[in-house]
Structures are given as C-alpha cells and as structure tokens.
Amino acid sequence: MDHYSNYHSFSEALVGFSQAARRHGLSTGIQCTKEAVASALEGLWLDKDQFSYALCSLFAHSVEEKQLFVPIYNRYWRQRGTRINDKRDYKNKKTVKKQSVNSAVMVGTGQQDSSEETVESKTTTGSNSKETLKKTDFSKLNVIQEKQLEILSEKLVSEMSLRIKRRRKKMLHGQIDLGHSIRKNLQNGGAMIDLIRTKHKKDKYRLLVLLDVSGSMDKYSFYLLKFLWTLKHHFKQIEAFTFSTSLLRITELLQDKDLAMSLARVSQNAKHWSSGTKIGECLKEFNEQYAKRYLNGNTLTIVLSDGLDTGEPEVLAEAIEKLKLRSKKLVWLNPLKGMQGYEPIQMGMKTALPSLHHFGSAHNFDSLLSLESILINA
C-alpha cells in the first residue's frame, strides 16, 4: 500500500492518494483530485477530522464506497510504524498485553526482548531522538517529525514558562541589603538574625512578537506560528502580529485551544501570507497605530524575520529605532542565522542591527528555547 510520506510535497501526496483510491475500486478522476487539492489549500488539512470528511465526500458517493474508503484512507495517511488493527473480540482477554509507547517502534522487527538492557536502549534512543528533533532545521522536518515536535514543543514551552515564573518570583523578593541588615541587627550584638531585602516593584510584563510571513519566510513562518501559538497559551501578557506587505494583529486568532483551528483562522485572515516584504512600512504602521496601546516600556519586543526587505532602508531605520525606544528590549531572530557561514549582509538586516539589543537565530526549536534567558531578564 502506498503512503503519503513517499512524496516530496503535500500536493503530490494528494495525487498519490487519488491514484491509490482508484486502484482499490473508487471511481476518482482528475476533477476529484483537483477538488481534493483545493480543499487542502483552504486549510482543511490542518484538522484531521475535517480533512477526512472532505476527502470522503469527494471520493465516496455511496454507502459501499464509504466502507471501502475508510481502510484506504487510514492505511495511506497513518503514521509510519503504527498498525491499523481490526476490532476483534478476544475470548481470553487476560492474555492480551497492552502495548507500551515504544512497542510501535518495534512493529515488524520480531523483537520482544524486555530485558533491562533493551529498556535502557529505548530510553537512550528516545532521548537522542528528542535532542535531534530540537536541533533539526524547520525546513528539513518531515511530516512525522513535525507532529512529534508539535507534542514536544507544548511540553518544553510549559516547562520554560514554569522556570521563568519561579525565577521572576524570586527576583521580586529583591537582593539582601547588607548595610541596612547590619544596622538593623546592631541590637543583636552584630549577629545577622534579620536579613533586609531591597523591595522590587512588580512591573506589568508584556511580550510582543512580530512574525514575518512573506514568501522568503515560507519554510519557517508556519513552524514559527505554531511556536507563537504555544507561547500564547503559557504567557498571558503576549501580543502577536504577522506582516509582509501589510500588518495584521492575530492575538485573538491564537486564542483557540485547538492548534489546527487557530492556524486555520490565521490563514483565512492573513491575506498577505507569502507575498512580498515591506518590513519598514509594516513596522511604521505598527508604531503609528498600535505602539501606544501595546508598548509600555516594560515590553520585550521580538521580530521574527529573515530581514529581506524590499522597501526603503530609511523607512526601516526610523521605524526600528522608534520600536527600540518604546521597548524595554528589542530582539530580532532570523532563521537564516542558523545557516553555516551566514553574515547579515542584506540591506534590511544591516539597517536594523544597530538598533537591536539581541540578534539570534530561529531556524530550529533549540534556538527558540534560548529565549528563556532573555525572557527571564526582560
């Protein structure tokens, strides 16, 4: 049976599915394949259930065809290394052992070693796989790795959020005021019984993210948007915008607890997706329309962009400087910086660099996790 992962693009995989459906008895044609691709481009593929319903309505037109469609669909779009089991009644249910998470990896190998050495091997492999996944460039992820990273990112960002909250809570207590403590304890013969700490005012902390979704960022913007959605669900004070030739506030669009629905809502509203790049014009628009409302002097502003601006450098220089003055810290993360030998020689990047507090990469999940140190000190 053919499988979607054998193809280089999602469109090719859909054509392959049409051919597989036709080979197994479903009456499909070119028009049906075109409609399937159109449905996917509308964003239905982001939701597994909606995607399966859409394809079923296109490929199956009777009860018999629908019954035939289900196993074809399940086998073609399943994850590698997983089985599709038929529903059976076992007379002796006590002998049926529940498979562990690792058993899916072992399907078809014929190995059933449950020794401590095997368990340790699996654990080590899983750990190495996680580290490899974190360091893999977004542009080189396959469909299965993408799903694994989706699950992993939720856990890692949650842990990062917890660490940041703990560190910031400790910082609010302030450092020990040695002089004040000594004077306070003179009545105790100099013994340091009561330690006096400096008081820190709790600032209204906010995170602002501006994501470039122009054509040159196609390989990365989708993954960065997923990361942005994950951040949104762990940091209350966060505002998010996308830009290319125009600017769009997407904070409310990321509110949905279901990732696929949030991404679908963004794709429906972001008409400027994969278009040209006018970074300076978009930042100028933000400064004029949104800065007073969303920048309060305690805002960490993050720009996610490759810096390939087609606008006037003077416009970008003025806009980025204003953004810096209104932010507590201005950070620019560029996916291209993860490439070996990269130098910020593009006009847009050269123009922005002097105004930045930090210039980093955003080509893999590991580089995004390095934001933790910046968020703590923001």
283 within some domain: yes
Q: Are the CB atoms for 150 and 226 separated by under 8 Å? A: yes
Q: Which of 20, 44, 77 corresponds to the end of one domain?
A: 77
Token code pair at residue 325: 């003055």
Please report which confidence band the pLDDT of residue 272 belongs to, taking 50, 70 and 90 as the band edges: confident
Q: Are the CB atoms for 277 and 244 separated by under 8 Å? A: yes
60 within some domain: yes
Residues in the chain: 378
* Domain boundaries, position 15: 4-77
By mean pLDDT, which of 59-73, 93-107, 260-274, 310-324 is the weakest?
Answer: 93-107
356 within some domain: yes
Token code pair at residue 369: 């996790």
Please report which confidence band the pLDDT of residue 242 belongs to, taking 50, 70 and 90 as the band edges: very high
Which is higher by pLDDT, 69 or 31? 69
Token code pair at residue 313: 């450098």
Report the distance separating Cα 111 and Cα 268, nearest Å: 47
Q: Are the CB atoms for 332 and 241 separated by under 8 Å? A: no
262 within some domain: yes
Q: pLDDT tens digits, residue range 2-53? A: 777 777 777 777 778 888 888 888 776 666 656 666 655 555 455 566 677 7
Q: Which of 77, 109, 133 corresponds to the end of one domain?
A: 77
- Over pLDDT 90: what percentage of the chain? 28
Q: Which of 33, 54, 77 corresponds to the end of one domain?
A: 77
Q: Please report, for the domain that includes residue 237, its CATH number.
A: 3.40.50.410
* SS (HEC) of 254-300: HCCCCHHHHHHHHHHHCCCCCCCCCHHHHHHHHHHHCHHHHCCCCEE
Mean pLDDT calculated for residue range 274-285: 92
- Over pLDDT 70: what percentage of the chain? 69
Q: How many independent structural domains does the chain possess? A: 2
Q: pLDDT tens digits, residue range 90-147? A: 344 444 344 433 322 222 333 444 444 444 444 445 567 788 888 898 888 887 787 7
Task: Give the dihedral of Cα atoms 288, 294, 297, 301; nearest 10 deg.
Answer: -90
Q: pLDDT tens digits, residue range 307-353? A: 999 999 999 999 999 999 999 999 999 999 988 889 988 899 999 99
366 within some domain: yes
DSSP state of 101: G
Report the distance separating Cα 60 and Cα 74, nearest Å: 14
Give the chain's mean pLDDT: 76
107 within some domain: no
Q: What is the pLDDT of residue 38?
A: 60
By mean pLDDT, which of 7-11, 151-155, 264-268, 350-354 is the weakest?
Answer: 7-11
Q: What is the pLDDT of residue 318?
A: 97
Q: Are the CB atoms for 58 and 32 separated by under 8 Å? A: yes
SS3 342: coil
Which is higher by pLDDT, 91 or 157? 157
Token code pair at residue 302: 């993050």
Q: What is the pLDDT of residue 178?
A: 61
Q: What is the pLDDT of residue 71?
A: 87
173 within some domain: no
Both 210 and 67 in one domain: the answer is: no
146 within some domain: no
Q: Cα 156–336–373 angle (5° rounding)?
A: 35
Both 218 and 356 in one domain: the answer is: yes
Token code pair at residue 190: 């100099």
H helix intervals, 173-233: 178-184, 218-232
Token code pair at residue 188: 């105790």
